[in-house]
Copies of this chain bind each other. A is one copy, B any other.
Amino acid sequence: MALGKGYDRQDCAFARALELLGERWTLLIVRDAFYGVRRYGDFLAHLDAPRAVLSQRLAALVEAGVLERRQYQDAPVRHEYALTSRGEELWPVIYTLGRWGERHLVTEPYRYFHHTTCGSRLDPAGSCPTCARWAPPAEIEVRPGPAADRSRTDPVSVALHEPHRLLARLL
């Protein structure tokens, strides 16, 4: 990219995080991983990212310990990508940025996030108002909202037309 990717003189952990996660497409890959997307072809069809960019971003996330690459099939050999515990810790970033966009940049919600334990919709900070505690991603169900685009036909978009528990395999 024209501007380089480092923030060498920025003296903060936030800048280090941005050097990894601020690259174009990277946070959308992480978002999809929370939705349960695991295979290269599914990321590709859903994100419309150029192949080379997607491959580079996945490799960088694996190298940083955000995603784990593992073999799920022998013949032919196939790999998939899943969030590590370090990657799962990014949920507050993904959730709060999405809710900020929802409040300020769109007219209606694309998706709702509910607590699987009680069914309540989460508050803007990611806590469950009924259970009075923060909900970890494994206890969250994503459901289509009124603005969800039902015209897309790639497998990820179609699967997300139904409620789905975060981190659980989507396809």
Contacts and interface: CB of A to CB of B under 8 A. Distances in A.
Interface of A: 1-3, 7, 9-18, 20-22, 24-25, 27-28, 31, 47-48, 50, 53, 64-65, 86, 89-90, 92-94, 96-106, 109-111, 125, 134, 147-149, 152, 157
30 contacts: A1-B2, A3-B50, A3-B53, A9-B48, A10-B47, A10-B48, A12-B31, A12-B101, A13-B98, A13-B102, A13-B105, A13-B110, A14-B97, A14-B101, A15-B101, A16-B101, A16-B105, A17-B98, A17-B100, A17-B101, A18-B27, A21-B97, A22-B22, A22-B24, A22-B27, A64-B105, A89-B103, A92-B96, A93-B96, A93-B100
Contacts of A90: 100
A97 B3 CA distance: 22
B99 A96 contact: no
A65 to B, nearest CB: 7
A126 to B, nearest CB: 9
Contacts of A22: 22, 24, 27
Given A1-B3, A22-B22, A98 B11 contact: no
Contacts of A16: 101, 105-106
Nearest to A94: B14
Contacts of A21: 97
